[in-house]
Amino acid sequence: MISFVTGLAAMCLVSCSDFLEEYSQDTDYVRTWKDLDELLIGDCYLPVDASSYLSYTSTPGSWIHLLGDEVQESQTGYTNQYANGDYRANSFGYFTWQQRVGQNESYTDFFTENATWTKIYYCINVANNILSSVEDVPCVTEVEKQGVHKVRGEAHFLRAYYYFWLANLYGKPYNAATAETDLCVPLKISDVVEDKKFTRQTVAEVYRQVLADLTIAESELKQLKTAKLSIYRADSTACHLLQSRVYLYMQQWDKASLYAKKVLAAHPTLTNLNTASGKFLVKDNVENIFSMGGNDVHRIFNYICQSYSVSKELYDAYASNDLRKSQWYWKKGLFVGPVRVAVNNMYTSYDATSGDYYERAYSEKGRQEEVSGQFLMRSAEAYLNEAEAEAYLGNEAEARRMLNLLRGNRIVSSSNSEVTASGAELITYIRNERRRELALEGHRWFDLRRYMVCSVQPESHAITHEWTYYSSHTSSTMTERRRFVLEANDDAYTLPLPQEVINFNTGMPNNVRPWREYTVVQ
């Protein structure tokens, strides 16, 4: 196997050579900022149509929703002739927190573990190449200056986003007391191809790089004079929301609140579920600020096959007067599946009481979604970020105000949505509201991690997942059910580095992760 950075840089060059074909046969193909903008769109942003049938390769981190307490094994007992079970089998190591996430369910072999790592580092290397090349393009006319600001700003934003995401998968949660020594991921911010083995930087070093990139991105993007035309391109508001999130994770509450306020000054709009029609997770939702990448979330769930369900704990977290419960989920028996996306496939009519409704309407193979399942930013997050930060700072009235503004758009208008809690109860309420509002959007696993080290009201709890073995992938005959427990403050809240990376980079330390025991429950 080739080095993950050297190899990805080479992959980036291959992509660049494809891009080059449209212009010339030599290496001097970058003529203007528009050339780099094309490369940015084509290779640095994750494509909107990246969804595939839970391949775990085209949509980075599709498995992140399986790690926490949002998903449980489906217990409907149904299968059909189309259920090959491959997507479920591939996710065993993630869902049951195995020592290696590629572990197969029979403990006889391993699936590939580095798909997300490879894709994200590939995008980082594209950003590195763009940031190096942008220094040499013409920047004289106002159009050229605006173009350079745009390309440079977006490239810095994306690199920051990618490293922040990697840090929260493969590094420990940010703890100021240990961040300078806690190992994170390798940093590479140069376009130079280096034939060497790499080492891991610390959590503090990676976060400093994220903040440095976001500072430059903010400076560049705020100079743009034209309105953003698409949620699929980053702007200064997206940058401010990511800054708010990063500072929240770093427990710098004043800065987290400051940047949340900047977001809401520019984009305060919320969708009122009392009056909204149509599905929620669509590109023209007024709450959307930024999105990139595909969305395989709904295909995790399937009522009539061996599959997963929204956890009972998550579903029960919504009160009966909470419109999110009725509008965002479909329930039949013990099965719950998310239905926030628009129905748009080969079927033209649906019977919502039918057993195969969910499979046909929401889990059908080949569907493409308009917004990401992991890289979506909405204005609702800014309300929650500010509420949480202000609560930690002791500004409880402001925290409640943010909560109540959000909840006023989510709760049945004829009922009382007012939050009056204070102290520890208020903080718990904010965390629970964040769970309800941002469910299955890629936040929950990261939130559970950071709550463990929070200086104000730290918390962690055990999570239980059960895994059923069947006589075959197309059978409903159960042979055994095993129970796995992720303990409070478990080391497995941090993922192991992909084994392919460890194998090549001899001597690179991996994260300590215990062998996962289980009990047979049926």
Tell me which DSSP letter residue 410 carries. Answer: T
CA 320 – CA 336 distance, rounded (Å)? 15
Residue 177: HSE in the Cβ half-sphere, 13 Å Cα cutoff: 3
Low-confidence spans in the chain with pLDDT less than 50: 1-28, 52-57, 84, 346
pLDDT at residue 349, as a whole number: 64
CA 359 – CA 26 distance, rounded (Å)? 50
pLDDT at residue 85, as a whole number: 56
Give the C-alpha distances (Å, rounded to integers) separating 192 from 128, 133, 188. 9, 12, 9
Lookup: tokens for 94:
């993630």
Give the C-alpha distances (Å, rounded to integers) separating 257 from 103, 116, 218, 247, 394. 41, 31, 16, 9, 12
Beta bridge partners of 72: 309
Q: pTM for this one? A: 0.92
Please, which residues have CB within 8 angstroms of residue 274's CB and are 6 or more apart in sequence?
323, 409, 412, 413
Which structural domains are found in the chain, ordered by start?
4-49+115-226 (1.25.40.390)
CA 39 – CA 18 distance, rounded (Å)? 10
pLDDT at residue 4, as a whole number: 35
CA 484 – CA 65 distance, rounded (Å)? 17
Q: What is the SS3 assignment for 40?
A: helix
Please, which residues have CB within 8 angstroms of residue 276's CB and are 6 or more apart in sequence?
none
Cβ 302 vs Cβ 74: under 8 Å: yes
Which residue bears the tokens 């190591």? Answer: 93
CA 286 – CA 378 distance, rounded (Å)? 9
Nearest to 340 by CA among 403, 241, 271, 398: 271
Give the C-alpha distances (Å, rounded to integers) separating 456 from 254, 277, 434. 14, 39, 17
Q: Strands 376-378, 288-291: parallel, antiparallel or unpaired by DSSP?
A: antiparallel
Question: How many helices (H) and strands (E) are present in the chain, helices listed first?
Answer: 17, 9
CA 42 – CA 126 distance, rounded (Å)? 10
Q: How long is the chain?
A: 522
Q: Residue 473 burial (CB < 10 Å; 0-12/13-18/19+)?
A: middle
Q: What is the SS3 assignment for 103?
A: strand
pLDDT at residue 81, as a whole number: 55
pLDDT at residue 128, as a whole number: 96
